[in-house]
Chain A
C-alpha cells in the first residue's frame, strides 16, 4: 500500500514573534532531554539540552522548560526569524543511551 507520511503538528508565526513548541515525553526515568532542529534534507541539529535536575535552561534566543510532574517539555524561541523555519523534535534519553524522539513540530515563520 501507499506510505502515509507523518502528520506533524504545525505552528505558524509571524517574523519577530515568540514561538513556543511543546512536547510530551513518555519515560519518567528519562534524565536528559534535547531539542533538535531539522531542516529539509538535513540531519537533526542540536539546539539546547536540559537535565532532569533542572526545570529551565536558556541559550541564545532559546529557552527550554521541563515539567517532570506532567512529563512535558517546551522550547521557546524569541524573536522568531525566517531561518527558524524547520521541524523541531524533542528527544529523551536515560544516562546517555538511545534517544527516543517525539513526533516533531513543523514551524513556519511568515515574513
Chain B
C-alpha cells in the first residue's frame, strides 16, 4: 500500500459526460501528479500541483482540468468525454524532490 488513495476504482460513463476523479496523497506530501495510462500511449504525465498551486502541465487536453484543495487532496475533472478518454488514471504524490508514489488508479470506461 503506497498510502495514496484514489476513488472511484472504476467508472463507466457515456460520451459527452463529465466525471470527477479524486486523489488523496500520502500524509505530508505536498505534490500531487496525475498520469494517464492507455493501451497505446503508455504512462503519460498530465499535470502537477504543489501545495494547491499548479506547477506543470503535460499532455492534458483542454477538456480536462484539475485542482488541489487546502487539505491537499486533488480532483481531476474530465468533461465532454470521448471514447478515446477510456484509460487508467493514476495520481502520485511526493515530498519535494523525492520518489513519486502511485495510487491504485481509476479505470475510466467511456461507452
Chain A residues, Cβ within 8 Å of B25: none
Which of chain A's residues have a CB closer than 8 A to the CB of B99? 34, 46, 49
| Nearest neighbor of B97 in chain A, beta-carbon distance | A96
Render A2-43 as a binary contact track against B, CB cut-off 8 A, 1 for contact. 011110000000000000000000000000101010000111
Say whether B42 contacts A43, CB under 8 Å: no
Within the assembled complex, what's the spacing in Å between the Cα atoms of A95 and B55? Answer: 13
Give the chain A neighbours of B35 by CB distance below 8 A.
99
Additional A-B contact list (14), CB under 8 Å, known A43-B2, A46-B2, A97-B48: A3-B38, A3-B40, A4-B39, A4-B40, A5-B39, A5-B40, A34-B100, A42-B105, A44-B92, A44-B102, A46-B100, A98-B48, A99-B45, A103-B42
A44 near B48 with CB under 8 A, answer no
B56 contacts the other chain (CB 8 A):
yes
Residues of B within 8 Å of A89, CB to CB, are: 43
Known A3-B40, A43-B2, A104-B42; judge A96-B103 contact (CB<8 A).
no
Cβ contacts A to B, 22 pairs, < 8 Å: A3-B38, A5-B40, A6-B40, A34-B100, A36-B102, A42-B104, A43-B2, A43-B102, A44-B43, A46-B101, A49-B99, A89-B43, A96-B31, A96-B94, A97-B55, A98-B33, A98-B48, A99-B35, A99-B43, A99-B45, A100-B45, A104-B42
Which B71-111 residues sit within 8 Å CB-CB of chain A?
Answer: 90, 92, 94, 96-105, 107
Could you list which residues of chain B lie within 8 angstroms of chain A, going by C-beta atoms?
2, 4, 31, 33, 35, 38-40, 42-43, 45, 48, 55-56, 58, 90, 92, 94, 96-105, 107
Interface assignment of A45: CB less than 8 Å from any CB of chain B: yes
Give 1 or 0 for each of A51-95: 1 = CB within 8 Å of chain B CB: 000000000000000000000000000000000000001000001
